[in-house]
Chain A
Amino acid sequence: MAWARNLLRVDLSKGTSTNEPLNMEWAQKYLGQRGLATKYFVEEVDPKVDPLSPKNKLIMTTGPLTGTSASTAGRYSVVTKGALTGAIACSNSGGFFGNELKNAGYDMIIFEGKAEKPVYLMVENDSVQILDAAEFWGASVWDTEEGIKTKHGDPLIRVASIGVSGEQGVKFACIVNDMDRAAGRSGVGTVMGSKNLKAVAVRGTLGVAVDDSKSFMAAAAAGKEVLAGNAVTGEGLPAFGTQVLMNVINETGALPTHNHRDVQFEGANNISAEAMAEPRESDGKPNLVTNQACFGCTIACGRVSTIDRNHFSVKDRPEYHKASGGLEYEAAWALGAATGVDDLDALTFANFICNEQGIDPISFGATVGAAMEMYEDGVISTKDTGGIELNFGNAEALCSLAELTGKGEGFGAEIGLGSKLLCEKHGKPELSMSVKGQEFPAYDSRGIQGMGLTYATSNRGACHLRSYTVASEVLGIPEKTDPLETDGKAGLVKAFQDATAAFDSAGLCIFTSFAWTLDDVAPQLDAACEGEWSTDKLLEVGERIWNLERQFNMAAGFTGKDDNLPARLVKDAAKTGPAEGKTNGLGKMLPEYYEVRGWTGDGVPSNETLDRLSL
């Protein structure tokens, strides 16, 4: 049990939906969510498929623990071939949607084909309808979610939808659920838009059963105790959110600034967790109103914020005066340090718009940063930008571009290409700070060496959520390693990658891993699911998933040459801070990594490795 043992297949071209039993043999090998949906995807989709063609599929998937009483067990993921990257994409989201889907009796929904006209899917337990979405096409995520709940007269319906950005083909459109939680990266919302699928609305009341409920209650309670007793998950994340990292990473000299020209940002302390808690000069209120939790989460890292009503971004726009999803660290970095903007309210506004229109704030902010560098270098001018003066630090420009990109209009449509295509278009490919087309998150790999290897080898393009070695290199979790050293990082990255793949396949939030290891997860899975679920088995499952994703990417046309970083990070030394004079040592780490992975010198999984993992 724990799995619903049932999946829903929706053919949008034919307008049909069918139930299928979940492949339980695969569930034992790939667990659920990221792993199991990737297995289905790889089996069913041609790796060379154009991400925006009807032949690409999109899977919304839960894990076996999703919907149970384990802490943070409300997660769901979207697996597809990414519109931004052309690589395997798997974006994970919290909120309440995943729990609802599982409670409706489904482990996953596989979307195939393309609807003739805009539709949304309405699922109420076993009743499944593909409905006309004409009235919602052109609406924001926020209006769509409200509109569907009102139309069906049920405020308890959970909705995952795309904004106008996803309809317009903005390459980094996300799928947003519960107003401000997003399957954010790699353009999964763009794929959804290409299928004319505006939203998925779910109401589920069937409950989620576990295999051995007594043991499960005990294991889940033990897990919660560990989270509560740990300073990061018990105090740090609830009080400060991930934003506590802003000053840590800046001080460490690894805060990418001005499109990675610099590694420290003068304005960091104006956009940090501490700044969010300080009363504003103008109205005496702090930016941060409260924290919030996703389904079943005992950590509650979410931020709820307001913007000063007199701030230029929202003056005379009362619709933005209420509290809404606030900045987390990666968004604050991309909207702030990457663009040189240190106006906290401007960043909060841009973040609201990213939620409202469904765009990934990391790729958006980083692409604006790249455009700002091209503007300052004279590569583009106000003629290209539609009159926007795009200097680093221009808060007004950031806010207007958020709105334009959210609607795919004006220069926003260009930003919506993502930094890789935008910089290539203007003859400056080297200014795109990305790997496999996806923009870096908030850690400069000259100052945190392991993150260079993490980014270069990430199966979904540059990403911190595939192997968060920052935990070890900066925060000392589970043990402290030197961020400026390359020695030992190959093994560290592999260990983080494999463990993360297991967490992502269970239905849990990766933030539990600040306190939990797989030793804390295994007993919960073992009690909830049939079969034996030990730490060793989970590590093997994680490694199998990693290699499966790798195989898909190689079949899609990626090679070891794509395990790379922009020249800036391996040639131009950091100018200040602890990493001053340093570049990233990818050249040394990569061959070591291939070796610990059991891959050939070209980065291809060897037959021995594939046999060992039964792939």
Chain B
Amino acid sequence: MIIRIKLYAALGKYLPDGAVKNEADMEVAIGTTPEVAFTSLNVPLEQCHLVLINGLFVPPPERATRTLANGDHLAAWPPVAGGVR
């Protein structure tokens, strides 16, 4: 399935090739969680503070358990924009 990954501020450097304006489509396996998606792009998990799926906040404990659905937008910011870890 395809999700839209959005990485902002200093996390931008982990975006896959072909990303435009801090976002890219990304093929992931069914059952992928935010942490799995971040790890596959080598984004250090401790740098993911503000994490949103379709704009809704994902609390830290759920980042390893919530599964993404086809078409979901997964966005992350490092601690510079606040957020909690």
Interface residues of A (CB under 8 A from B): 231-232, 235-237, 239-240, 244-245, 247-248, 251-253, 269-270, 273-275, 471, 474-477, 479-480, 482-483, 514, 577-578
Complex-state Cα separation, A251 to B21, whole angstroms = 14
Are A248 and B50 within 8 A (Cβ)? Answer: yes
Between-chain CB contacts (< 8 Å), 19 pairs: A231-B49, A235-B79, A236-B80, A237-B80, A239-B9, A239-B10, A244-B77, A251-B73, A251-B75, A270-B21, A273-B9, A274-B12, A274-B22, A475-B83, A476-B50, A477-B82, A483-B57, A577-B54, A578-B54
In the complex the two chains form, is B55's CB within 8 Å of A252's CB? yes
**B8 sits at the interface (CB 8 A):** yes
Q: For B10, what are the chain A residues with a Cβ–Cβ distance below 8 Å?
A: 239
Contact A248 B78 (CB under 8 A): no
Q: Complex formed: what's the CA distance from A577 to B57 in Å?
A: 12
Contact with A along B20-53 (1 / 0, CB 8 A): 0111000000000000000000000000011010
Contact A248 B12 (CB under 8 A): no
Q: Please pick, from A239, A269, A275, the residue contacting B80 in the complex, using a CB distance under 8 A.
A: A239
Asked if A476 and B21 sit within 8 Å, CB to CB, the answer is: no
The minimal Cβ–Cβ distance linking B28 to chain A, given in whole angstroms, is 19
Q: A236-B9, A274-B8, A274-B12 are in contact. Are A480 and B80 (CB under 8 A)?
A: no
A425 to chain B, nearest CB (A): 37
A253 to B10, CA, bound (A): 22
A253: nearest residue on chain B (CB-CB)? B55
B8 touches A480 (CB 8 A): no
| With A273-B9, A274-B8, A577-B55: A235-B84 Cβ-Cβ less than 8 Å | no
Residues of B within 8 A of A237 (CB): 80
- Chain B: interface residue count, which band? 20 to 34
Give every chain B residue within 8 A of A244 (Cβ-Cβ). Answer: 8-9, 77, 80-81
| Cβ–Cβ contact A231 & B78, under 8 A | yes
A252 to B73, CA, bound (A): 11
Question: Across the interface, which residues of B come within 8 angstroms of A477, CB to CB?
Answer: 82
Question: Which chain A residue has the least Cβ–Cβ distance from B80?
Answer: A236
Contact B78 A251 (CB under 8 A): no
For the A-B complex, the count of residue pairs with Cβ-Cβ distances under 8 Å equals 82
> What B residues does A482 contact at CB under 8 A?
57
A480 to B50, CA, bound (A): 11
Chain A residues near B79 (CB-CB < 8 A): 231-232, 235-236
Q: Give 12 A-B pairs besides A236-B82, A578-B54 with Cβ atoms closer than 8 angstroms.
A: A237-B80, A239-B80, A248-B50, A270-B21, A275-B21, A474-B50, A474-B57, A474-B82, A475-B82, A479-B84, A480-B57, A482-B57
B binding-site residues for A, Cβ under 8 Å? 6, 8-10, 12, 21-23, 49-50, 52, 54-57, 59, 73, 75, 77-84
Which one of A232, A275, A578 contacts B82 once the chains associate, using CB atoms below 8 Å? A232
Neighbour of B9 across the interface among A269, A274, A474, A483, CB < 8 A: A274
Which residues of chain A have C-beta atoms less than 8 A from B50's C-beta?
248, 474-476
Q: How far is the CA of A239 from the CA of B77 in the complex (A)?
A: 14
Residues in B with CB closer than 8 Å to A253 are 55
| A232 to B49 alpha-carbon distance, docked (Å) | 11
Q: B21, A248: Cβ atoms under 8 Å?
A: no
A479 and chain B: residue at smallest CB distance: B84
Instruction: Give chain B's interface secondary structure class.
Output: mixed
> Which partner residue on chain B sits nearest A275 by CB separation?
B21
With both beta carbons as reference points, the residue of chain B lying nearest to A263 in the complex is identified as B55
Residue of A nearest to B47 (CB): A231
Task: Determine how close the nearest CB of chain B comes to the CB of A201; give it in whole angstroms.
Answer: 38
In the bound complex, residues from chain A placing their C-beta under 8 Å from that of B59 are 480
Minimum C-beta distance from A450 to chain B (A): 14
Chain B residues contacting A239 (CB-CB under 8 Å) are: 9-10, 80
Which chain A residue shows the least CB distance to B84? A476
Task: Determine how close the nearest CB of chain B comes to the CB of A244; give it in whole angstroms.
Answer: 5
Shortest beta-carbon distance from B56 to chain A in Å? 5
The winner among A244, A251, A474, A480 for most chain B CB atoms within 10 A is A251
A251 touches B82 (CB 8 A): no
A181 to chain B, nearest CB (A): 23
In the complex the two chains form, what is the Cα distance from A578 to B58 in whole Å?
A: 13
> In whole Å, how far is B20's beta carbon from the nearest beta carbon of chain A?
9
Contact B81 A245 (CB under 8 A): yes
Q: How far is the CB of A281 from chain B (nearest CB, A)?
A: 13
Q: Which of these, B49, B52, B80, B83, contacts A251 with CB under 8 Å?
A: B52
**Distance in angstroms between the alpha carbons of A479 and B75 in the assembled complex:** 20
> Are B80 and A248 in touch, CB under 8 angstroms?
no
- In the complex, the chain B residue whose C-beta lies closest to that of A577 is B55
Query: Which interface residue of B6, B23, B78, B80 has the most chain A CB atoms within 10 A?
Result: B80
CB distance from A579 to the nearest CB of B (A): 8
Residues of chain B contacted by A514 (CB below 8 angstroms): 82
Chain B residue with Cβ nearest A254: B55
Partner of A247, one of B22, B49, B54, B82: B22
Minimum distance in angstroms from B34 CB to a CB of chain A? 14
The one of A269, A475, A483, A578 in contact with B81, judged by C-beta atoms closer than 8 angstroms, is: A475
**Which residues of chain A come closer than 8 Å to B57, judged between CB atoms?**
474, 480, 482-483
In the bound complex, residues from chain B placing their C-beta under 8 Å from that of A274 are 8-9, 12, 21-22
Nearest 7 A/B pairs, CB to CB: A236-B80, A475-B82, A231-B79, A578-B55, A269-B21, A476-B84, A253-B55
**A275 / chain B contacts, CB cutoff of 8 Å:** 21
Cβ-closest chain A residue relative to B8: A247
Task: List residues of chain A with CB within 8 A of the CB of B80.
Answer: 231-232, 235-237, 239-240, 244
Check A240–B84 contact: CB distance below 8 A.
no
Whole-angstrom distance between the Cβ of A265 and the nearest chain B Cβ = 13
Residue of chain B at shortest CB distance from A472: B82
Closest chain A CB from B31 CB (angstroms): 23
Residues of A within 8 A of B83 (CB): 475-476
- In the complex, what distance in Å separates the CA atom of A269 from the CA atom of B49? 20
Cα of A269 to Cα of B55 in the assembled complex, Å:
15
Q: Nearest residue in A to B20 (C-beta to C-beta)? A: A269
| Bound-state Cα–Cα, A351 to B54, Å | 32
Among A245, A251, A273, A471, the residue within 8 A (CB) of B6 is A251
Tell me, in angstroms, the Cα distance from A528 to B23 when the chains sit together.
49
**Inter-chain contacts of B6 with A (CB < 8 A):** 247, 251
Q: Are A248 and B23 in contact (CB under 8 A)?
A: no
Complex formed: what's the CA distance from A231 to B21 in Å? 23
